[in-house]
Amino acid sequence: MELWYTEKHSENVGITMKVSHSLFSGKSEFQQLEIVETLEYGKMMLLDGLVMVTERDEFIYHDMIVHPALFTHPSPKKILVIGGGDGGSIREIMKHPEVEQAILCEIDGLVIEKSIEFLPTMASEIDGSNPRVKLHVDDGLAYIRDHQNEFDVILVDSTDPIGPAVGLFEEDFYRLVYGALKEDGIMVAQSESPFYHPKIQQAMYANLRNVFPIVEMYQAFIPTYPSGFWSFAFASKRYHPVTDFDAQRAAKRDFYTKYYNEQLHLGAFMLPTFARENIAK
């Protein structure tokens, strides 16, 4: 018998992967969680049937949600991740020696628990072994409401805007994020596929521009996400990700990044015309 998993990317298109077996399948109070072993991409985590991470290509997403902001901010000391229960973002944040504390605020404790159990290469820093990392199982909105003016960088490592993540794409949420950042803070949020999700992007970037003075989109190539062409929103109070970026500092980093580098940092902000149009003012 052959097992194949398909995530539909539109009514008529999808990605299909051959699966050897299931490692976990269960429902939390928020969503359906699956972890399966694939032949091509290693272990893969799905939420409500959508691909969240695979062992083989997660380095791209996690490099790109973390390093552009942490190399733009001159002194990122206190970082908040909303979502990101697999731990991949926290793992990358911990590579930055100047970070004093990183807080993971994930709504679904089951995602954290099963990531520690089945995805140790991602969850290595959220298993309680690192004193610089704190975990909160809580709704991100509720958490930042109580933590205003605290963070240098906030990363919104969410699923698509359906289910528990809907609120994370709305203007009210971005106002709370703005307030939870210090006066020179930066927010980065995953912002879907420019190819498949122009309407989501249009609404999301309009919401962001109503709140932040600096809003830019940047891109990464992520083979297991819809179209492979993925994006992130960089929203900032003071620092611009291209003109305020110190390439020297990024070049001198003493840790390995398999996707990110100081040249790609700049290149990622250069967008094809159709993607620019999605977020035109």
Q: In the complex, which residues of this chain contact ligand AG3 (CB under 6 A)? A: 7, 50-53, 61, 84, 86, 88-89, 157, 159-160, 190, 225-226
Q: Name the minimum Å distance from CB 158 to ligand AG3.
A: 6
Give the nearer residue to ligand AG3 in terms of CB position, either 76 or 226.
Answer: 226
Contacts of residue 274, defined as CB under 8 A and 6 or more positions apart, other chains included, come to 194, 195, 198
Given 157, 160, 244, 254, the catalytic residue: 157
Q: Name the minimum Å distance from CB 174 to ligand AG3.
A: 18
User: Rounded to whole angstroms, how far apart are CA atoms 69 and 61?
Assistant: 13
Backbone dihedral angles phi then psi of residue 60, each to the nearest 5 degrees = -70, -55
Give the nearer residue to ligand AG3 in terms of CB position, either 68 or 88.
Answer: 88
**DSSP code at position 84:** -
Q: Is the dihedral of CA 52, 54, 55, 56 positive or negative?
A: negative
SS3 236: strand
Give the nearer residue to ligand AG3 in terms of CB position, either 201 or 245.
Answer: 201
Reading the block at residue 48, the tokens are 């409500």
Reading the block at residue 280, the tokens are 């035109």
H/E segment holding residue 201: helix 198-209
Give the nearer residue to ligand AG3 in terms of CB position, either 59 or 61.
Answer: 61
Q: Name the minimum Å distance from CB 190 to ligand AG3.
A: 5
Identify the bridge partners of residue 217 per DSSP, sorted by sequence position. 233
Q: Name the minimum Å distance from CB 184 to ligand AG3.
A: 26
Is 157 one of the catalytic residues?
yes
Catalytic residues, by residue number, are 157
